[in-house]
Amino acid sequence: MEFKAKVSIDAIKEQKTLPELAKQYDVHPTQIQQWKKVLLEHSAKAFSDKEAGAGAIEAKESHLYEQIGKLQVENDWLKKKLS
């Protein structure tokens, strides 16, 4: 998997031609082109998944802080009642 990513990234950089990369990595140029296409098609997921994950984490964190606040108020009320 890492090999495909490395070859695809080198292809995207376009510092070498596909035939040069094919010779360097001993892979057919068509294969490199396919890997490059897959990487470009799925690259947006890398950012959208992280952003969605961050939003979910923030929502969970907010919910937990809300619960803590409620429990603190309840705890204070119970302390007053026992005194």
Q: Which domain holds residue 56?
A: 2-82
pLDDT score recorded for residue 29: 93
Burial of 35 (0-12, 13-18, 19+ CB in 10 A): buried
pLDDT score recorded for residue 17: 93
Give how many domains the chain has, as a whole number. 1
Q: Average the pLDDT over 9-27 and give the result.
A: 93
pLDDT score recorded for residue 22: 93
pLDDT score recorded for residue 49: 59
Higher pLDDT, 31 or 50: 31
For the segment 46-83, what is each residue's pLDDT rounded down to a tens digit?
777 555 666 777 888 999 999 999 999 999 999 998 88
